[in-house]
Structures are given as structure tokens and as C-alpha cells.
Amino acid sequence: MTGIDDLPVRDELRGKSPYGAPQLDVPVRLNTNENPYPLPEALVERITERVREAARDLNRYPDRDAVELRTRLAAYLTDTSGYEVGLANVWAANGSNEVIQQLLQTFGGPGRTAIGFEPSYSMHGLIARGTGTGWISGPRHEDFTIDLPAAEKAVAEHRPDVVFITTPNNPTGSAVPAETVLALYEAAQAAKPSMVIVDEAYIEFSHGASLLPLLEGRPNLVVSRTMSKAFGAAGLRLGYLAAHPAVVDAVQLVRLPYHLSAVTQATALAALEHTGTLLGYVEQLKTERDRLVSELLAAGYEVTASDANFVQFGRFEDAHVMWREILDRGVLVRDNGVPGWLRVTAGTPEENDAFLDAVREIKKEQG
């Protein structure tokens, strides 16, 4: 049987595994940080209308520059952060994964490197690999906060072309203070001109504010966002970035023409019309996230502080055995490969109850 390694694949892909959160058919799925609430019926109606309109023009290529969508995204960012961004500051793609890929194609690539502080979002390293960018794993403290002196040292030593900072961090949940981001930006620029990408996929769930205002006067800073989490639209595949207009111009050099389909643009625009309702779900999820933290602590588990729609909990001799125990009770959580820890996404109150019942029962059985 012919396998991958029998094909003339690139050397750096040999023996590697793809991103693989299991998509298992279990009653309660709390493993991929999705929003558990289906879109409200009024929004489904509006999407249908907008898509029907778009369908009439599907013989034509879509708006290559997604001007209306980027204008609406800029308005959303301005309204929610108080920091004014406009069309020229915003770029959108099929999920923030594609945004990150375009950034690495533009600013990374063969002969260049990117650094991330791990554990963090594993796709940063995987997209680096896919774009031929060397990957450097930077340090964190025991408590998963960024070890700033060690991180500054790593940046000075490796002189990366791209620096990733995920805030709130996935899978650990905690937000990164603005001072840490600023210090790393300064350290990175002192080493060599480089891009600092602040991945704010979960920022709407944070106790703190977005770092968008840091863009002022910092053309080498990028903030990336997604509609997959707070907007409850993971299936839509819409991510975006805010940065200096020159960054938006630079990613045009690598983006595929017409990468955002007319259907995607129409759907995203409909969702943005319902921002108020969708952000209401965020408030419910934040309450549920805080409940998960307090109930896990009460049940005798450890948790890391969470600013996201998920909670990292532990500690386990063997996290994978615990993952299986929870799965045996009909609840799918995530084993991100962080030794001793698992991650649970905040679901509906009923789903969270099912998860909490499972972990309480396991604790009882283990004595």
C-alpha cells in the first residue's frame, strides 16, 4: 500500500501528523472551543436573504477586496474597543487560520523563523511548518504565564521574523498583560525588524480589554480575530486582522484572488447585523465559564485562570487516562498534550452540568 512517505512530499512534512481534534459523535462535545448556541432564527433568516441575493451574482467572481465586509468588521472593532480602525486597517480571510497563513507567507517563509510561547495554539507552529517557516518554541513559567525575561532572551538570541502572542492563550486560558506584549514588541524590534502577531481569537470572553490600541504607532504589530468563537460562527470560516494599512497591502501579495466567496461575505455581513444578540451569548458563556472554574475548584481540581470560553483543569498523573474516563461518561473534552492538564469548553448550562457530574463522579470513585 502506498503511504505518504512513498510520495515525494517535502522533507519537513515526513512523519508528521495533521491538526486533529477528534470529531467524535458523543452527546456532549466540549472539545473545540465552539459556541454551543445555534444561531438565532432571525439571523438564520437574514443569512438566507443575504445569500439568496448573492446567489443571483454567482456567475461573477466575488468582491476581491471584500470592501463592505471589511468596513463592517472595522466598525465592530471600533465600537467594541473604542480604538478607531477603518477599512484600510482590516483584512479578512477564511478563518483566522488563513489570516495567520497569509501573514506567515508574507513575513515568514524559507530561511525565516517564527517563535511562539508554548503551550499555545498548536496551529501557529503547524502553519509555520506548512509555509516553510522555521519554528522556535519559547518558554513559559510553571503557571503557564509568559516568562518575560526568558522570552526576551529567546527573542534576542533567535532573532525571529515573526512573534506570536496568544491572548487569552489557548489552551491555558489566561490573558497576557499589555506590558508583556509591549516588552516583547520592543525586544523583537531591537533584535531585527519583525512582525508581532497578537492572536485575540478569544478576546470577547476576556475580563480585560483588547490590545487593539497598541496598534497606534506600531506598524509591525498585528491583531488577529475570528468570528468562530464570540460570533458563534465556526462553520462560517471567517477570520480577520487589524493592523497598519501597509500590512494589509503586504498580505495582498500572497492572498489568492477571490479567496472569500460571495456566500461567505454575505453570511458574515448578516451575522454582523446581529452583533448585539450574539454578544449576549458571550455574556452567558462568561458566566458559565466562571461557574466551571468555581465548581472544578470545589470538586478538588486545579484550574488555570481563564479569560476565554474554556478552562484548563488538572492535575492528572496521566491526562489521557482522565480524558478517556470523561469520554466514557459521554463528555468529550480536549487533551492538548499538556502533561497533567485537560481543557473543557464552556457549553450550555446542561452540557456543563453533564461535564461537572462526570468529573465529580470520577473524583468520588478515585477517593
Binding mask 126-155 for ligand PMP (x = CB under 6 A): ------------------------------
The minimum distance between CB 229 and ligand PMP, in angstroms, equals 7
Cα separation, 245 vs 223, in Å, equals 13
- State the maximum Cα–Cα separation within the chain, in Å, rounded to a whole number: 65
Residue 335 binding ligand PMP, by CB under 6 A: no
Cα separation, 68 vs 7, in Å, equals 43
- Taking the least distance from each CB to ligand PMP, the nearer of 232 and 295 is 232
Given a contact cutoff of 8 angstroms between Cβ atoms, the answer to whether 308 and 314 are in contact is no
Binding residue for ligand PMP, selected from 66, 69, 76, 95, defined by CB under 6 A: 95
Residue 33 binding ligand PMP, by CB under 6 A: yes
Q: Candidates 64-72, 94-102, 107-115, 356-364 — which segment interacts with ligand PMP by CB under 6 A?
A: 94-102
The minimum distance between CB 174 and ligand PMP, in angstroms, equals 13
For residue 194, the Cα-to-chain-centroid distance in whole angstroms is 21
The minimum distance between CB 364 and ligand PMP, in angstroms, equals 32
The minimum distance between CB 84 and ligand PMP, in angstroms, equals 24
In terms of Cα–Cα distance, which of 235, 226, 341, 344 is closest to 285?
A: 344
Residue 239 binding ligand PMP, by CB under 6 A: yes
Q: At what angle do helices 95-107 and 122-130 cross, to 10 degrees?
A: 50
Residue 165: in which H helix or E strand, if any?
strand 162-166
User: CB nearest ligand PMP: which residue?
Assistant: 95
Footprint (CB under 6 A) of ligand PMP, residues 174-233: 199, 201, 226, 228
Given a contact cutoff of 8 angstroms between Cβ atoms, the answer to whether 335 and 323 are in contact is yes
CA atoms within 13 A on the CB side of 235: 7
Q: How many chain residues bind ligand PMP (CB under 6 A)?
A: 13
Cα separation, 313 vs 5, in Å, equals 37
Strand partners, 310: 345
Residue 97 binding ligand PMP, by CB under 6 A: yes
Residue ranges binding ligand PMP (CB under 6 A): 33, 95-97, 121, 166, 170, 199, 201, 226, 228, 234, 239
